[in-house]
Amino acid sequence: MASEGASNKNADCTLCDKIGLKPFTKENVFHYYIPLHGVVSYSALAVNVMNPGFVSKILPKKDLTNVLLLSSLAGTAFYIYGRPHLSKIPNSRRGLYAILGGSLFSMGSVLAWALMRSVLPRENAALATIAGLASGAVLVKLSVDYFTDCDKLVDKN
């Protein structure tokens, strides 16, 4: 019976490894899964800002902009909070830095998308959607690279 439980646990871990997910631990929930949810919300926010008609067709009486914005902000803040280069900063200040970074990233992206949307042709919703998703992907990649480089500067001793 005990060996069945162990083999199921190993099978679950193998499945997680195959699809690229981390095991559910407290650390992974806060520093992997919540930020992952934030990236999904960020992508949906990009579509919502760049092509608001698309979301209104799916959910005609629901405006999810604020929910997506807050979820994106929370995911970004949890990501920043968990970065190694901030590990020696007191938790309260670290939390403030994380909220500031999440707010600037999320709100700055919304502003950039709104400006981008104003210069794109109104009749081409597909172009606006692709531009929003592509620019969001570039911003996320640059941000992750920036934090990775910052983390490399931390003395590991």
Q: How many CB atoms lie within 10 A of CB 86?
A: 21
**Helix, strand, coil fractions of the chain, as percent rounded to 5:** 80, 0, 20
Q: How many CB atoms lie within 10 A of CB 116?
A: 16
pLDDT attached to residue 5: 45
What are phi and psi for residue 114, nearest 5 degrees?
Answer: -65, -40
Q: How many CB atoms lie within 10 A of CB 64?
A: 16
pLDDT attached to residue 63: 80
This prediction has a pTM of 0.83
Per-residue pLDDT reduced to its tens digit, 55-105:
777 776 778 889 999 999 999 999 999 999 999 999 999 999 999 999 999
